[in-house]
Structure 1
Amino acid sequence: MEDPPPADAVQSRLTSRLRLQPVGPANVRDLLLVHDDDEVWPWYGGERPSLEQAERQARLMRESWRLHGVHKWIAYDRASGEVVGRGGLSRTPVDDDWGQIYDFLPGEPWVRVAHGATRPFVAHANWLELGWALRRDFWGHGYASEIGRAGLAFAFDILGVHAVVSCTVRHNQRSRAVMERIGMRYVGEIRSRGMIEGVEGERDDAPYAVCVLLRSDRDQGTGRGSAARSA
């Protein structure tokens, strides 16, 4: 019997233009390259990220890949090898903040079920969050949609979850457009810590637009998306 492929080989994906590699300590510099981009970091707080912060994030992502079976990818251009961005899925903590999403999901028991792993945090088992961040040089070329569709395929076809949600601050119209372009449906707003248009710094009550795609809708053809193959 052949040995099973390494976890990274299963969790990595190829799209038509991108190689998506699970984030871990080996990708710290590439993760920082994305988060330190002049057009990216202002969406995530009031100051540029440090190398130490990127190292902590990469360790958390690797731990989540290992214990939760999912987290974000670094997206590399398949032709040039350049770092395009980061994106993909993550499990959401079972807490009051993410509990706001319950109002937008079916009133069924699976919504509140916790994942079996309690590290690196207690997370929801049956629905995931989808997101992306691209370096400014790669905006406007469909890469975010490509990452998003790969995430939906991984969520539904590989992990078999019931739903995927995506959230962005209300005034991030570009990200909202990507969500709807890949077949997700706007369902309402929540309030959480983040940026408010026209206000300096982060606030605890920033409005976030929420989009959702249920597996049942995708299976019925209500949602759109194309599968990505494993690397």
Structure 2
Amino acid sequence: MADPPPAGTGDVRFTPRLRLEPAGPAHAPDLWLVHGDEEVWPWYGGRPSFEQAEDRATFMGDSWRLHGVHKWIAYDRASGQVVGRGGLSRTPVDDDWGQIYAFLPAEPWVRAAHEAQRPFTAHANWLEIGWALRREFWGRGYASEIGRAGLAFAFDVLGARAVVSCTARHNVRSRAVMERIGMRYAGEIRTRGTVEGMRGEQDDAPYAVCVLLREDRPSAAPSG
């Protein structure tokens, strides 16, 4: 029997191979499993403790409840294995994310704030998309599958005007996924993160930015 269609924000969603569950406190062990992967945590400045994963999962649950969106935990529909986490989140209205304004239209909607002031003041009309997969699931198209589900959710459910994605300049795999799902390279920002050839996080790391405006969204994204 086919899986039922999602009813709205905060519901479990399905792709051809994945079950996408809105992350919340109950998903802390699975979030820890993803971010503790030997090939994942170096991109985030260090291996998280379980307590940090619990805090992050709680924050994600609050964001789903108050902002109507945050990341999913992705499970293989056939095996039930944890594949990764990914999807969307609202971006804080602050100087760091304000760097993105240079890559978006000079229109009032870009700087408008979401009506909910908790868990933080966020942009109302554009979202960030990203993904992190356990190493054993790399190279099988899962990141693109999550990314396309995120874009559909952003534009078709949330009515977003734009989606952006940022990754360390040298993260060529992630940049390839961005382009594969139809996003366009826009430029670079500087923020705290990883730098090629250096250990740990740096305060002035170069991050590549890709953007997709609603009016530029491909009518039919390729599969794979």
Q: Match of 2:123? A: 124
Shift of 1:225: 3.3
Counterpart Cα distance in 2 of 1:123 and 1:183: 25
The one-letter code sitting in structure 2 at the alignment partner of 1:52 is: E
Counterpart Cα distance in 2 of 1:225 and 1:69: 25
The one-letter code sitting in structure 1 at the alignment partner of 2:221 is: G
Q: Match of 2:87? A: 88
Counterpart Cα distance in 1 of 2:184 and 2:153: 19
Q: 1:214 to 1:63 in 2, by over 3 A?
A: same
Shift of 1:224: 5.1
Higher relative contact order (CA 8 A, sep 6+): 1
Counterpart Cα distance in 1 of 2:7 and 2:56: 19
After superposition, give the CA deviation of every residue in 1:132-160 in whole Å (9 maximum; x if it has no partner): 00000000000000000000000000000
Shift of 1:11: 2.9
> Do the aligned partners of 2:9 and 2:157 also contact (CA within 8 Å) in 1?
no
Q: 1:64 to 1:9 in 2, by over 3 A?
A: closer
Q: Match of 2:178? A: 179
Shift of 1:7: 8.1
Q: Does 1:12 align with 2:12?
A: yes
Q: Match of 2:3? A: none
> Do the aligned partners of 1:164 and 1:214 also contact (CA within 8 Å) in 2?
yes
Q: Tell me the TM-score normalised to structure 2 length.
A: 0.94
Q: Match of 1:189? A: 188
The one-letter code sitting in structure 1 at the alignment partner of 2:33 is: L
The percent of aligned pairs where both chains have the same amino acid is 76
Q: 1:164 to 1:152 in 2, by over 3 A?
A: same
- Runs of 5+ unmatched residues, structure 1: 1-5
After superposition, give the CA deviation of every residue in 1:59-116 in whole Å (9 maximum; x if it has no partner): 0000000000000000000000000000000000000000000000000000000000
Shift of 1:226: 7.5
In the comparison of the two structures, how many residue pairs are matched? 219
Q: Match of 1:3? A: none
- Runs of 5+ unmatched residues, structure 2: 1-5
- Secondary structure of the 2:106 match is coil
- Secondary structure of the 2:63 match is helix
Q: 1:133 to 1:62 in 2, by over 3 A?
A: same
After superposition, give the CA deviation of every residue in 1:11-42 in whole Å (9 maximum; x if it has no partner): 32100000000001111100000000000000
> Do the aligned partners of 2:10 and 2:64 also contact (CA within 8 Å) in 1?
no
> Do the aligned partners of 1:152 and 1:225 also contact (CA within 8 Å) in 2?
no
**Matches for 1:156-175 after TM superposition, within 5 Å:** 156-175=155-174
User: Runs of 4 or more off by more than 6 Å in structure 1?
Assistant: 6-9
- Secondary structure of the 1:11 match is coil
